[in-house]
């Protein structure tokens, strides 16, 4: 009480201009909102976010980083890496470094776009089923479980072949339609927990419509689950996209990480020792995958403290057990 009064009385005394405004802090606060700072405090997640940000920047500034046209023949076929061509050339004499840099854009766009569409479908299916319950839940859960059990990769391959229009758009479409089920299932079970919460009951009493309760009461309370499912979906999309393009179901004339691997395989890069054509794209995919995995581990640890790898939280920590054994031995001796 006293405190508020002092601030009240002193504030007019300080001239407006000289009032200490923490400008850098405010800017930082705007760029790094509290939840992001929370994630970044976790070491695993911070490393993941940094790697991912680096790739996103590479994707955005691709034409600046590698001004060379990635599809043009600019050297002899299968040149080894040199100062001129950092990662050598392909069989067609294209610059591998330029291909990697430009491929980042398509690969990441497809990954994030697919991940987002997948999550939207998963949210609609999972939350509707979980909240409404009854026969709606029965039907939606049945659809989800069937979609989950039908092996996706063969289905994706067959559908992609029939569509006959290879390219990133097709991959986004097919992947989204086939891979939403896992997320829907996870979100549904969380919704089942939340629908009995007091604040949901309160909203129902107030007379909020179901869609409002689902979107504005339940959904915001499972943000971490949605984010980690989204990241999982992006990871799956990045890897599956590469796999599809690798087996020739992408557009081979486009430059993506998967098509670089496709051409490497078709040009017998393995047998001719042209390692620079197939190692870098794989490493890039793996780094993106690794960063996403790290972020998810981080989120897991933040939201579920039990999983933290800290001896003190373990029910039977190694150190304590060893110490106990030592005292036991000493006693028996």
Partner 1 sequence: MRFLLRRLGFYLIALLVAVTINFLIPRMMAGDPVQIMFARFQGRLSPESMESLYQTFGFVRGPLHEQYAAYMSSLLQGNLGISVAFFPVPVAQVIGSALAWTLRLVGLATIISFTGGTLLGVIAAWRRGGFVDTIVLPITGILNSFPYFWLAMLALYIFALHLGWFPLGQAADTDLIQDWSDPVYVMSVIQHMLLPAITIVVTSVGGWLLGMRNNMIGVLAEDYITLAQAKGLPDTRVMLTYAARNAILPSLTGFAMSLGFVLGGALLTEIVFSYPGMGFTLLNAVNTRDYPLMQGIFLIITVAVLVANLIADMAYVMLDPRAR
The CA distance from 34 to 55, in Å, is: 23
Q: What is the dihedral of CA 256, 261, 265, 270, to 10 degrees?
A: 150
Judge whether 255 and 74 are in contact, CB under 8 Å. Answer: no
| Of the candidate residues 316, 329, 330, 331, the single one contacting partner 1 (CB under 8 A) | 316
Window 249-268: residues binding partner 1 (CB under 8 A): 249, 261, 265
The CA distance from 145 to 218, in Å, is: 22
Q: Give me the 205-244 binding string for partner 1, x by CB under 8 A, dash otherwise.
A: ------------------------------x---x--xx-
- Residue closer to partner 1 by CB (options 162, 206) is 162
Q: Does 47 bind partner 1 (CB under 8 A)?
A: no
The CA distance from 151 to 138, in Å, is: 22
- Residue closer to partner 1 by CB (options 253, 316) is 316
At 59, list the tokens.
Answer: 């994707």
Window 153-172: residues binding partner 1 (CB under 8 A): 153-155, 157-159, 161-164
Q: How many other CB atoms are there within 10 angstroms of residue 279's CB atom? A: 14
- Give the nearest distance from C-beta 268 to partner 1 in angstroms: 11
User: What is the residue whose two structure tokens read 């990954």?
Assistant: 111
Q: Give me the 279-298 binding string for partner 1, x by CB under 8 A, dash otherwise.
A: x-xx--xx--xx-xx---x-
Q: Does 1 bind partner 1 (CB under 8 A)?
A: no
Window 130-149: residues binding partner 1 (CB under 8 A): 142, 145-146, 148-149
| Of the candidate residues 315, 329, 331, 333, the single one contacting partner 1 (CB under 8 A) | 315
The radius of gyration of the chain's CA atoms, rounded to the nearest angstrom, is: 26
The CA distance from 165 to 44, in Å, is: 40
Size of the site for partner 1 (CB under 8 A): 54
- Give the nearest distance from C-beta 308 to partner 1 in angstroms: 9
The CA distance from 93 to 266, in Å, is: 15
Q: Which residues contact 147 (CB under 8 A, 6 or more apart)?
A: 178, 180, 181
Q: Does 151 bind partner 1 (CB under 8 A)?
A: yes
Nearest to 292 by CA among 220, 233, 226: 233
Angle between helices 43-60 and 96-132 (to 10 degrees): 120
- Residue closer to partner 1 by CB (options 168, 281) is 281
Residues that bind partner 1 (CB under 8 A): 142, 145-146, 148-155, 157-159, 161-164, 235, 239, 242-243, 246-249, 261, 265, 270-271, 275, 278-279, 281-282, 285-286, 289-290, 292-293, 297, 306-307, 309-311, 313-319
């Amino acid at each position: 009480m006293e405190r508020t009064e002092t601030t009240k009385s002193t504030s007019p005394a300080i001239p407006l201009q000289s009032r200490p405004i923490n400008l850098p802090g405010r800017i930082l606060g705007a760029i790094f909102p509290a939840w992001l700072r929370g994630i970044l405090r976790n070491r695993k997640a911070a490393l993941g976010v940094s790697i991912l940000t680096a790739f996103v920047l590479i994707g955005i500034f691709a034409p600046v980083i590698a001004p060379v046209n990635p599809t043009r023949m600019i050297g002899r076929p299968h040149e080894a890496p040199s100062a001129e061509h950092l990662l050598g050339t392909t069989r067609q004499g294209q610059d591998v470094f330029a291909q990697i840099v430009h491929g980042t854009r398509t690969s990441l766009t497809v990954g994030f776009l697919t991940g987002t569409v997948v999550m939207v479908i998963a949210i609609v299916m999972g939350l509707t089923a979980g909240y409404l319950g009854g026969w709606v839940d029965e039907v939606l859960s049945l659809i989800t479980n069937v979609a989950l059990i039908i092996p996706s990769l063969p289905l994706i391959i067959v559908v992609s072949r029939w569509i006959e229009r290879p390219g990133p758009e097709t991959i986004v479409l097919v992947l989204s339609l086939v891979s939403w089920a896992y997320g829907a299932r996870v979100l549904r079970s969380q919704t089942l927990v939340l629908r009995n919460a007091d604040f949901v009951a309160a909203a129902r009493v107030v007379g909020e419509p179901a869609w409002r309760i689902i979107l504005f009461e339940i959904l915001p309370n499972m943000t971490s689950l949605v984010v980690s499912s989204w990241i999982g979906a992006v990871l799956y999309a990045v890897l599956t996209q590469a796999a599809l393009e690798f087996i020739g179901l992408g557009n081979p004339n486009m430059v993506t990480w998967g098509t670089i691997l496709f051409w490497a395989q078709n040009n017998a890069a393995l047998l001719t020792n042209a390692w620079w054509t197939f190692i870098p794209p794989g490493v890039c995919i793996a780094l993106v995958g690794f960063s996403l995995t790290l972020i998810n581990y981080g989120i897991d640890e933040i939201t579920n403290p039990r999983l933290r790898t800290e001896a003190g939280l373990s029910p039977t920590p190694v150190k304590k057990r060893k110490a106990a054994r030592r005292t036991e031995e000493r006693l028996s001796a």
